[in-house]
Structure 1
Amino acid sequence: MVRVRVVRHSALRRRALRWRVLWGGGEVLVTVGVLLLLLVVHQVWWTNREAREGAEREVRALERSWDGGGGDSRTAVAPPATTAPPATTAPPPDTGNGRNGPPPAPTAAPAPTPDWSQAYAILSIPRLALRVPVAEGVAKSGVLNKGYVGHYPGTGQPGQAGNFALAGHRNTHGEPFRYINRLRAGDTVRVETRSATYTYAVDRTLPQTAARDGGVIRPVPRSEVRPGYGYTEPGYYLTLTTCTPEYTSKYRLVVWGKLLSMRPR
């Protein structure tokens, strides 16, 4: 006698429903994965490409305007109270041991009021093959996301006594400061303006500090979170800041430099 297996329709419906749920869930996961992939591509690749191209155009526009070759006249601006150096090189900068003291302040030259919606200087770091515009402010939408380096409002300007402090993205939107952790003592950093080129030498690095550590951009920069890092004497300082670790904004990486020379254009 042959027994015939009876399959109830309700069991078949439940099985079919499970497969539909699993299949639908898989489609949702695949769709979400594709969207996330597109978002990553946009953030990591497209924003970098767009910002770098825009920053390169701005550098060329600044160079043309400074050389008298025309271009967008709105970029032909100078930072306020930027000094006009009386000599090719500055006096030896403070070594940090208090023996030489800070170099005497050069005579200030009047400067036109700049249009802060535009870049007014060019930052060059030969070791990193980096050449980017500098604009006022550290807002993301108006400055940093354009691939520019931003000047902290209230800090010094190039060549002035005090601290010329800058911020830049480490990842996405041009990521100009992605590799500043590779800078070593003695590496040069140049800041070009309409009136002069200022050369700084990298002196110290603070690998990690809190985002709220405002001491690193003071006129005499010194970490409030890690007091062993920084300076105690006035001088002519450059500060570069960015986020760390990569692809996060939890902490800040800081590189400091000291003024070596000022060369009129």
Structure 2
Amino acid sequence: MRVPVVGHGTLRRRALRRRVLWSCGELLVTVGVVLLLLVVHQVWWTNRQARHDAAREVRALEGEWGAPGAPGPAGPSEGTAAGGGDGKPPSPARERGSGATGSVAAVPRRSQAYAVLSVPRLGLRVPVAEGVGKRDVLDKGYAGHYKGTQQPGQAGNFALAGHRNTHGEPFRYINRLRPGDTVRVETAAAVFTYVVDRTLPRTSARDGGVIGPVPRSTDRPAYGYTEPGYYITLTTCTPEYTSTYRLVVWGKLRSMKPR
């Protein structure tokens, strides 16, 4: 009977293969742990930090104004309409330049938080800052005001953007808003109540028409308006965890209450 003889070269090659496989396994485990930590950071930590900072900024604004606001009831039952949510100015409003009484007169500084957005149905209450920069506005959990669009209460379109996922994700559930739901914008001068009117479930990220003075989608012209009015626009990314398309919610000014 012949006994197989294994040479030293074969043993070395086998040992080398085992070391390579072991090293690859360790590398894969390490990469997996790092990726898991990155996911935890993005999904959990950034939300925690941004929500904390946004709530602190809301309290700071309320302190400056001297009268903390509280979200009203959800849905169309909030208050009685003066103007009926038809896009026309509410009866208490008097024209002053291009905006109604109580609107923000001066353009806020870039990245300055100057208003509070409240959406009672979603339990949402976040600062509004000038601009839509990621690092200095959106990643802080704020709603960002599109430069060049109108300010709260002014004729035209008050357009906002917000993250749908991570960094506080303030606009994550705006797809749940329905016609008749209320959206409030509080400034140092007044509280403006808008009524949700319609939703555009998906459009191109380059669809600038949705934030126009008379908001109307250029990609999907069946969605939007044809007449001037007092509008609010909320935009965010869709589907979730992507930035491929935009989800849009529109509303019309119903009432204005001076502070």
- Using the size of structure 2 for normalisation, the TM-score is 0.88
The question of whether the paired residues in 1 share the 8 Å contact of 2:149 and 2:212 is answered with: yes
Root-mean-square deviation over aligned CA pairs: 1.9
| One-letter code aligned to 1:33 | G
- What whole-Å deviation, never above 9, does each CA across 1:167-225 have from its counterpart, x for those lacking one? 00000111000000111111110000001100011110000000000000001000000
The question of whether the paired residues in 1 share the 8 Å contact of 2:86 and 2:253 is answered with: no
* 2:118 pairs with 1:130: no
The 5-angstrom pairing of residues 152-171 of structure 1 reads 152-171=146-165
Partners of 2:50 and 2:67 lie apart in 1 by 26
Partners of 1:46 and 1:246 lie apart in 2 by 18
Alignment partner of 1:258: what SS?
A: strand
Instruction: Tell me: CA distance 1:14–1:36, structure 2 relative to 1, closer, same or farther (3 Å).
Output: same
Q: Identify the match of residue 189 of structure 2 among 195, 200, 206.
A: 195
The 5-angstrom pairing of residues 207-246 of structure 1 reads 207-246=201-240
Structure 1 residue aligned with 2:13: 14
Superposed displacement of residue 142, structure 1: 1.1
The question of whether the paired residues in 2 share the 8 Å contact of 1:156 and 1:164 is answered with: yes
Partners of 1:146 and 1:188 lie apart in 2 by 24
Partners of 1:240 and 1:68 lie apart in 2 by 26
Superposed displacement of residue 6, structure 1: 1.3
Alignment partner of 2:226: what SS?
A: coil
Superposed displacement of residue 17, structure 1: 1.0
Q: Identify the match of residue 177 of structure 1 among 138, 159, 171.
A: 171
* 2:64 pairs with 1:65: yes
Structure 2 residue aligned with 1:42: 41
- Using the size of structure 1 for normalisation, the TM-score is 0.86
The 5-angstrom pairing of residues 75-154 of structure 1 reads 90-94=82-86, 102-103=88-89, 106-108=94-96, 111=105, 114-154=108-148
Consecutive unaligned residues in structure 2, runs of 5 or more = 69-79
Superposed displacement of residue 90, structure 1: 4.0
Partners of 1:118 and 1:103 lie apart in 2 by 27
| One-letter code aligned to 1:134 | V
Identity %: 75
Alignment partner of 1:40: what SS?
A: helix
Structure 2 residue aligned with 1:24: 23
Structure 1 residue aligned with 2:73: none
Q: Identify the match of residue 260 of structure 1 among 249, 254, 257.
A: 254
